[in-house]
Chains A and B, each alone.
Chain A
Amino acid sequence: MEKLTVVEGVAVPLERANVDTDQIIPAEFLKRVTKTGFDDALFFAWRQDPDFVLNDPAFQNPAVLIAGPDFGTGSSREHAVWALRDYGFRAVVSPRFGDIFRGNSGKQGLLTAQVEEADVEAMWALIRAEPGVSASVDLIEKTVTVGTLTVDFEIDDYTRWRLLEGLDDIGLTLRDEPRITEFETSRETWRPRTLPAQ
Chain B
Amino acid sequence: MGKTLAEKVWDDHVVAKGSDGAPDLLYIDLHLVHEVTSPQAFDGLRMAGRPVRRPDLTIATEDHNTPTLNITQQIADPVSRTQIETLRKNCAEFGIRLHPLGDKDQGIVHVVGPQLGLTMPGITVVCGDSHTSTHGAFGAMAFGIGTSEVEHVLATQTLPLKPFKTMAITVEGELRDGVTAKDVILAVIAKIGTGGGQGYVLEYRGSTIRSLSMEGRMTICNMSIEAGARAGMVAPDQTTYDYLEGRPHAPKGVDWDAAVAYWNTLATDDDAVFDAEVFLDAGELEPFVTWGTNPGQGVLLSDSIPDPASFADPNEEASARRALEYMDLAAGTRMKDIRVDAVFMGSCTNSRIEDLRAFASVIKGKKKADGVRVMVVPGSARVRLEAEAEGIDKIVEEFGAEWRFAGCSMCLGMNPDQLAPGERCASTSNRNFEGRQGKGGRTHLVSPLVAAATAVRGTLSGPWDLDSSADLVAEGA
A contact set with B: CB distance below 8 Å: 15-18, 20, 22-23, 26-28, 30-35, 45, 68-70, 73-79, 81, 96-100, 103-104, 107-108, 117, 156-158, 169-170, 172-174, 176-177, 179-180, 183-184, 187-195
Contact = CB atoms under 8 A, between A and B. Distances in A.
A179 B199 contact: no
Contacts of B80: 31
Query: Which residue, B117, B195, B251, has most C-beta atoms of chain A within 10 A?
Result: B195
A27 B319 contact: no
Contacts of B123: 191-192
A33 B83 contact: yes
A22 B148 contact: no
Contacts of B162: 156, 158
Nearest to B95: A195
B318 A26 contact: no
A192 B118 contact: yes
Given A74-B130, A188-B262, A172 B160 contact: yes
A194 B56 contact: yes
Nearest to A99: B230
Nearest to B127: A76
B120 interface: yes
Nearest to B257: A190
Contacts of B264: none
A27 B199 CA distance: 25
Given A183-B27, A194-B30, A169 B160 contact: yes
B238 interface: no
Which bucket holds chain B's interface residue count?
35 or more
Contacts of B50: 170
B37 A180 contact: no
A156 B37 CA distance: 26
A158 B199 CA distance: 16
B145 interface: yes
A107 B147 CA distance: 10
Contact of B97 (A17, A96, A157, A194): A194
Interface in B142-175: 144-149, 151-152, 155-158, 160, 162
10 contacts: A70-B194, A77-B37, A78-B148, A100-B145, A157-B21, A169-B148, A170-B48, A173-B152, A180-B27, A189-B251
Contacts of A35: 40, 43, 147
A43 to B, nearest CB: 11
B146 A194 contact: no
A32 B79 contact: yes
A27 B230 contact: no
Given A27-B413, A176-B16, A194-B30, A103 B435 contact: no
Contacts of A18: 194-195, 294, 319
B151 A179 contact: no
A45 B322 CA distance: 14
B436 A22 contact: yes
Given A18-B319, A193-B249, 19 more contacts: A17-B316, A17-B319, A22-B436, A26-B439, A31-B80, A33-B40, A33-B43, A74-B130, A76-B130, A78-B40, A103-B146, A104-B148, A169-B148, A176-B16, A188-B259, A189-B251, A190-B251, A190-B262, A194-B249
A33 B249 contact: no
Interface in B391-427: 412-414
Given A31-B36, A179-B16, A192-B30, A74 B431 contact: yes
Contacts of B40: 33-35, 78
B94 interface: no
A73 B144 CA distance: 12
Nearest to B200: A99
Contacts of B119: 192
Interface in B84-138: 86, 97, 117-120, 123, 128-130
B43 A195 contact: no
Given A173-B25, A191-B29, A98 B228 contact: yes
Contacts of B255: 188-190
A174 B49 CA distance: 13
B30 A180 contact: no
A22 B431 contact: yes
B82 A170 contact: no
A76 B43 contact: no
Contact of A76 (B65, B82, B128): B128
B375 interface: no
A114 B156 CA distance: 30
Contacts of B158: 173, 176, 180
Query: Which residue, A34, A75, A107, A183, has most C-beta atoms of chain B within 10 A?
Result: A75
Nearest to B40: A35
Nearest to A35: B40
Given A45-B439, A188-B262, A73 B195 contact: yes
A26 B27 contact: no
Closest 9 CB pairs of A and B: A104-B146, A107-B148, A190-B251, A78-B146, A190-B259, A33-B39, A17-B315, A190-B255, A76-B144
Contacts of B439: 26, 28, 45
B120 A192 contact: yes
B152 to A, nearest CB: 5
Contacts of B147: 35, 78-79, 104
Contacts of B226: 74
B68 interface: no
A28 B130 CA distance: 17
Contact of B146 (A81, A96, A170): A81
B59 interface: yes
A176 B25 contact: yes
Contacts of A77: 36-37, 146
B374 interface: no
A186 B153 CA distance: 19
A168 B252 CA distance: 40
B259 A30 contact: no
B436 A194 contact: no
Contacts of A98: 198, 228
